[in-house]
Amino acid sequence: MGDFARRLGQLAARSLESESANILKTSRSNRHGLSRMLDSTLRRSHNMRIFGLGTLASLASREWYGRFTASMHAVYHAMEASFDKTDSPAVARLWDRFGTPLRREPALREDLAEVSVDPCLSGHTPATAAYVAAVHNAADADSKSGGARLVGHFYTRYFADLFGGQALAYPTRLALRLSDSSPRHYDFGSFGCERRANIDAIYAAINDATQDLSSDELNEVVRETERAFALNVAVYAEEGRLYIDAAHGAKNMVSGFVRKRLNL
């Protein structure tokens, strides 16, 4: 079962990676500035294998999905609260432009309600707590220095959602027998329908917002991005039964597609 799950995780990762790679190659605004520097962290630090396995594992049961979604809710709540009150001109400029279409916390809260999980009582695993603490530390550092370390967290999570998250909504819904509107946190509405153009617009906005930062401040954002990727890996892998649960999740996903095809 471990080998089977490993292969499924690799297959899921390759599928998402190929789509992401296509967008990365055709974007114009990620060829210079901070956007180019951040994309280098994507190649170095984003563990697509763990991402693929962790995604499949979250489909093993509604309980697993609830725990993982609660962790993501805690992270997004910390991020978006920090973006809302940031003293960093660069972060504020970026969030003022894209905060409305990108905000995920309300949708995550609704997704948790559907599976009867209280966000106030869940999502406080050690890996999640470490992630939330890192977001708060970045926000505090930005307030003191006028830097933009929070941009690293913005890039890590929202780009992951826009690049691959939307493709996960349908299989998640079928695997876990969720309502037709779930999972809501993968749905970006009209913004998501123009994903390629909007990703390029975000790249351009990142470069514009951070153009006055020093080279040291830009490198701080890069290091924070690498830290955020590592924190994501820790959350995805925290359950400890990744391969076994990924196999169960894959089975649920296949069963869901069969039910849909047979109209059961």
Residue 51 pLDDT exceeds 80: yes
What HEC string does 160-200 produce? Answer: HHHHHHHHHHHHHHHHHCCCCCCCHHHCCHHHHHCHHHHHH
Residue 193 pLDDT exceeds 90: no
Between CA 210 and CA 32 the distance in angstroms is 12
Residue 108 pLDDT exceeds 70: yes
Between CA 166 and CA 160 the distance in angstroms is 9
The pLDDT of residue 160 is: 86
Question: 212: which DSSP letter?
Answer: T
pLDDT of 200-230, one tens digit each?
999 999 999 999 999 999 999 999 999 999 9
Tokens representing 255 are: 């069963």
Sign of the alpha-carbon torsion through 147, 224, 45, 133: negative
Band (pLDDT 50/70/90 cuts) for residue 19 is low
Residue 8 pLDDT exceeds 70: no
The pLDDT of residue 143 is: 95
**Which of 13-27, 52-66, 241-255 is least confident?**
13-27
